[in-house]
Structure 1
Amino acid sequence: MLTDKRILLIIAGGIAAFKSLDLIRRLRERGALVTPVLTRSAEEFVTPLSVSSLAGEKVYRDLFDLTDEAEMGHIQLSRSADLIVVAPATADLMAKMANGLANDLASTLLLATDTPVLIAPAMNVRMWEHPATQRNLTTLQGDGIGVVGPNEGDMACGEYGPGRMSEPLEIVSEIESAMRVGALSGQRVLVTSGPTHEPIDPVRYIANRSSGAQGSAIAEALVEQGAEVIFVTGPADAARPNGVHLVEVETAQEMMQAVQGTLPVDAAVFSAAVADWRVASASESKIKKTKDGLPVLSFAENPDILATVSQMKSGRPKLVIGFAAETDDVIENATSKRLRKGCDWIVANDVSPETGIMGGSENAVTLISDDGAESWPRMGKAEVACQLAERIAKALQ
């Protein structure tokens, strides 16, 4: 996958820089050609000699190295790679990237390039959660910069929380996804998945039996086709797909906010089993049994995510796909839902308990579009996902 692919690896200053050594080794194992760039602060954590020895290449460090300027130049260096990876990406370097600063070799390369960029943030949890860093992150993502991590865990400073740099193999997986060329290369696709949990009180909630397996499979199939996938999932049992931009939510309202935050996209696949209703006023304390009898719960309608996106007057995705999990009159109800919501396609299935589909490993779907209803044979959810991804690729061509 990475054989002879040219990776320009920028290593910024931070304790996570030591992971960059293993990242280089993993990339070289897969046949990648790694050109390393060290910031001055990175040299406090890893030595140019160790980086150069593992990469088998010269380490670039200084913007004003006149010999290098004569041989290659920082402009050529920034554009000769297939992908630029920043690992670790410190808060300082992210701020420079977001604001177009270029006062050292690393920031100049990043400003001068037209090559895709992937960053692996690493910093103290307070720095990561600071509004300025989050604003910079939003700006970078809006500029098309890929992001992997950070993970949650213990910090070198003794604190705990998000801010740990992703592990080298996680970064390699993202690099492989970024380098993949397929029918959906350059396309940005949103996928929602899993159930939502609507709180009744701190220990109880309303949910459904969706495992999220079909949504995860669809996201992976789209990644295989080369798409940039934003995966918004409720608290699903299924493993999270590799190579996606992951957004975890719990409630339908949170999912709505997350979906709106990802737009614009080229296509949206709404496979999540979103709860139609929520408790209007969830109790802040556990509801107890009393002599007064059963508690009375008042319900409120959740936002209709599919209809909201389908009926957008501007910025609507080129292709909007909904799912209809039905137990009766599957095709009739799904056809009606497509017209009511305003989406382009509906993927309908029968989730009656006897089918074993909800929460199972197989699915039997009917694709409903302007061309009518097309029933697919029962197959594994991964096969359904691949077939749907191919249809999406054709529709977006």
Structure 2
Amino acid sequence: MTPAEILIVDDSSFNRLLLKRRLAELGYGEPAMAVNGVEALAAIAQKPFDVVLLDLEMPELDGIGVLERLHGMPKAPPVIVISAQTEMSGVIRCIELGAEDYLPKSFDPPLLKARLQAVLEKKRLRDLAAERLHALEAELESARQAQLSLVPRDFAGLSRGRLTVAAHMEPAREVGGDLYDMRWIGSRHLMFVVADVAGKGASAGLTMARSMGLIRAGVRLADARGEVPDPGALLALANDDLALDNPDMTFVTAALAVLDAETGEGRICVAGHEPPLRLTGSGVQVMGGYSIQPALGVTEEFPYSSAPFALAPGEAMLLLTDGVTEAQDLAGELFGKEAVLAALGSLVEPAPAIGALLKGVADFVKTAPPADDVTVLAVRFA
């Protein structure tokens, strides 16, 4: 017999003694005793019990009162209500409050054994499920921290010369499918990218890490050769690997740019992604002058091409994922592109602009759970 911590709650000394004897006959150890609900709650607060045998009719605090206080309490012990046949309405109320079962006051040994075993087995399974859930949550939190460690967060160190940068990424789940990256190429050019993997969760997070690795490999290879990589070539490199053996058709949208820190001129490639925004002192503009090409991972050997752009002194470029525009409130309404423009206003400094946009999204969704990962990146040319 597996040891079980049992609490008997009954104001009748005869019932307590009879139950104690019945439990001993079934092989259970010495139970704890309480004569009313107040004593029962005090005992439960001091020690975890595997099951509580709870009488309904008691002075000071009855069985229903005990269950009302236990209802919703984390790690509350399972309860078997002790009842007489005339108390069935009270038993029903106890079941509604979370009692697992009931036991007639005849304390028939076979029935007592069957109901105790059933309740204790359910508790064992619940405890096992809770233990495994805790282990899974710990693993997911570890994966979340590992994912967040992949993206650069030293924005002061990345801000050099005439460029100021900032970014923010918030997965909708423990692990998400968004990514951003910033890499200096030599001392003059900055590569920055925001991408969004279709889907959420662990599989999207793995594709995110793979995509980031491919892009970084292309940047490092070009940097080692003393070359400035073309954004289209970088995305083509990532696409060829992602599209190879991709039966699930997992795709990645991306906007990648390489910017000359001295002139404010650069090139950009957009693969199925949200349009970049230009932040100016007079307001926000949707950037044009480029073509939106297919998402990565769909077609092998697609010839991605880049387009030129230029930031005037004091302007900034902002990249974001659709987790911003498609953020949902409790009614299912979308935040939308117009709300993005309104939230940004005439802000051009990267950190304040990102902060204002995130606040606008938070004020809109309120208590609604996140529908998608949210990522924003901004680069300002002084």
TM-score between both structures, scaled by the size of structure 2: 0.27
Hey, which of these two has a bigger chunk of helix by percent? 2
The structure that has the greater radius of gyration is 2
Point out which structure has higher relative CO (alpha carbons under 8 A, 6+ apart). Answer: 2
